[in-house]
Amino acid sequence: MKIKSLIKYFRLILLLLFSFMLSCGGDDDINVVIVDDEGEIPISVDFDITVSETNTFEISVNNTSTGITGLNSYWQFTENGESVPDGAGPERHVYSVSGDYLVTLTVEAPDGDIAVSKTVIIVGDDDSPALKNAAKGFSVGMAVRSDRLTGSHNAVLVREFNSLTAEFEMKMDQIYKTEGSLDFTASDAIVDYGVANNMDIHGHTLVWHNSIPVWMNNFSGTDEEFETLVKDYITTVMQRYAGKVRSWDVVNEAIEDGTNNLRNSIFRIRMGANYIEKCYQYARDADPNAILFYNDYNVTFDSGKQAAMFAIVDDLKSKNLIDGVGAQMHISYNFPRRAQIQSVVDGTVSRGLKMHFAELDIRVNPNNDITSLTEQRAIAQQNKAKEVAEIYNAIPDENKFALTLWGMRDSESWLPAFWGQPDWGLFYNDDFTPKKAHTGLIEGFR
C-alpha cells in the first residue's frame, strides 16, 4: 500500500512538472511525451554552451536533456556540419575564425529525431598568437605523452594545436611489449583525447629499428611466421584506429647513416630487401583512407641520404603505396641552411607528395658552449623557427600537411638526454609561456 501511494505521488509530481515545463518551453526547448507501459515519460532536449575563458575560439557544450537515457544523440557545431557523437560529460569544439555558428543537438527518439539549435557568437582574436590560427591550410602538431594531457598541457594543446603525435606510446616496443598481446592503454588515451578535441592524429610509427620489442628480436619462428607477425601487427593497429588516426609513418628511419644503404634491421633480415614495400602494402590494405608517410632525419643537408630516401619513395609511389614524406626537423639554430631545408621540400613537391615537417626542435647548444639559454641564442632560435615556418608556408597548398613540434616545454625535450648535454630546443618555457621561438613560428606563418 505504502509503495503504491508513493508511486502515485511521484507520478503526480512528474505530471505537474511536465505541464509546467510545457508552459515554459521556449524556442530552445522542445518537449514531447512518449507513452510506454510505465506511463508518461517526458523527453526534454536542451543544452548549455559556454565559451572558454582561455581560448575565445573554444566552446564547451553540455547536454542537459532529460528522459533520453539509452537514446543516441549527436552534436553539430556548424549548420549541417559533421556529426560528433554526444559522449558522457561536456564536449569541446574549437572554431578557427570568428563568426556566428549554429550548434545543434539531435536526439534519436523512438518517434523521430528531436533537434535543438542555438547560435553561438565567436568573437575570437583572429590575430591571436595561437599557432593553429596563424597556420593556414595545414595542421600544427605536438608530440604528446598520455600523462601530459591535463592541466596546463591541456590548456596549451587545445589553444594552439590541431594535430597530435604520440612521442613514444604508439611505437611497437610499447604496444607490443609481450608476444601475443597488444597493449593499447596509452595509445587509446592519446587517440581518445585527440578525437575529443577534434585534432588530427598522426600515427608514429609502425616499423622502426629503434622500437623493436625484445621478444621480436629473439623470435625463434620461421621468416614466414615473422612476416605474418608484422603484417598482423600493422593491420590490427591501423584498423583499430581507422577513421581516428588520419596518417601514419609506416616505416621510420630505414636508411643507414654513412652508407645510405638500408639498415640491416631484423625486418630486412627476416622479410627481405623489399620489406619496406611489404609493410606499405599491409598498411594500404589495412586502412585505405590513411595517408601514408616515410619519415627520416638528416634528409635536408645530407644529400646522399636524401637521394636514398627519394629512391625508396619513388619505388613506393610507382606502386601507389605512399602519400607523403616526413622530414624530421631535429635541427640547430645555425644548421642546416635554408636552401638545404628547401631541397627536401622541392623533392617532395616535385613528386606530388605531401610534406610533413615532423619532429621540429631547434638546438641552441649543439657545441655545448652555453650553460643557460642566453638572450642571443633565444633570438637565433626565433630566427631559425621563422625560417622553417616561412619555408613551410610557401609550399603549394596541395602539398601542405602539417608541421609538428617534438615536445612542449624545454624540460620535457628528449634532446638533453639524447645528446648528453643541456639544451633548450623547444617552444615553451617551464611555466608554459611561449618562448621567442614560438613567436618566430607565428612570424613565419604570416
Shorter beta-carbon distance to ligand XIL: residue 328 or 381: 328
Q: How far is the CB of 162 from ligand XIL (least distance, A)?
A: 21
| CA dihedral over 281, 287, 289, 290, signed as positive or negative | negative
Angstrom CA distances, 26 to 19, 45, 54, 77, 121, stand at 14, 11, 31, 21, 20
Is 423 a binding residue for ligand XIL by CB under 6 A? The answer is: no
Q: How far is the CB of 250 from ligand XIL (least distance, A)?
A: 12
Q: How far is the CB of 248 from ligand XIL (least distance, A)?
A: 13
Query: Is 387 a residue of the active site?
Result: no
Shorter beta-carbon distance to ligand XIL: residue 291 or 405: 405
Is 332 a binding residue for ligand XIL by CB under 6 A? The answer is: no
Shorter beta-carbon distance to ligand XIL: residue 252 or 332: 252
String of contacts with ligand XIL for each residue 250-289, x by CB under 6 A: --x-------------------------------------
Residue number of the CB atom closest to ligand XIL: 414
Is 86 a binding residue for ligand XIL by CB under 6 A? The answer is: no
In the set 58, 91, 359, 387, the catalytic residue is 359
Q: What is the DSSP string of 109-173?
A: ETTEEEEEEEEEEE---TTS--HHHH--SSEEEEEE-TTSSSHHHHHHHHHH-SEEEESSTTSHH
Rounded to whole angstroms, the Cα distance separating 86 from 344 reads: 43
156-171 in b/e burial notation, b at 16+ Cβ within 10 A? bbbbbbbbbbbbebbb
Is 247 a binding residue for ligand XIL by CB under 6 A? The answer is: no
Is 63 a binding residue for ligand XIL by CB under 6 A? The answer is: no
Give the number of other CB atoms < 10 A from CB of residue 382: 21
If residue 341 lies in a helix (H) or strand (E), which one and from where to where? helix 338-350
Give the number of other CB atoms < 10 A from CB of residue 246: 21
Q: How far is the CB of 283 from ligand XIL (least distance, A)?
A: 17
Question: Which DSSP letter does residue 198 get?
Answer: T
String of contacts with ligand XIL for each residue 349-378, x by CB under 6 A: ----------x-------------------
Residue from the set 73, 104, 265, 328 that interacts with ligand XIL by CB under 6 A: 328
Name, in order, each residue with C-beta under 8 angstroms of 363's C-beta and a sequence gap of 6 or more: 330, 331, 332, 333, 415, 419, 423, 425
If residue 60 lies in a helix (H) or strand (E), which one and from where to where? strand 58-63
Query: Is 359 a residue of the active site?
Result: yes
C-alpha grid cell, residue 5: 501511494
Shorter beta-carbon distance to ligand XIL: residue 203 or 347: 203
Residue from the set 58, 167, 169, 323 that interacts with ligand XIL by CB under 6 A: 167
Shorter beta-carbon distance to ligand XIL: residue 217 or 320: 217
Shorter beta-carbon distance to ligand XIL: residue 86 or 410: 410
Q: How far is the CB of 413 from ligand XIL (least distance, A)?
A: 8
Rounded to whole angstroms, the Cα distance separating 175 from 169 reads: 7
Number of residues that bind ligand XIL (CB under 6 A): 6
Q: How far is the CB of 359 from ligand XIL (least distance, A)?
A: 6
- Beta-bridge partners for 62: 48
Question: Coil, strand, or helix at residue 273?
Answer: coil
Shorter beta-carbon distance to ligand XIL: residue 169 or 287: 169
Is 215 a binding residue for ligand XIL by CB under 6 A? The answer is: no
- Residue 329 phi/psi, 5-degree rounding, is -100, 55
In the set 167, 253, 277, 387, the catalytic residue is 253
- Cβ atoms of 152 and 144 within 8 Å: the answer is no
Residue from the set 414, 427, 428, 445 that interacts with ligand XIL by CB under 6 A: 414
Is 300 a binding residue for ligand XIL by CB under 6 A? The answer is: no
Shorter beta-carbon distance to ligand XIL: residue 43 or 251: 251
Q: What is the DSSP string of 228-267?
A: HHHHHHHHHHHHHTTTT--EEEEEE--BPTTT-SBP--HH
Give the number of other CB atoms < 10 A from CB of residue 238: 22
Q: Which residues bind ligand XIL (CB under 6 A)?
A: 167-168, 252, 328, 359, 414
Catalytic (active-site) positions:
253, 359
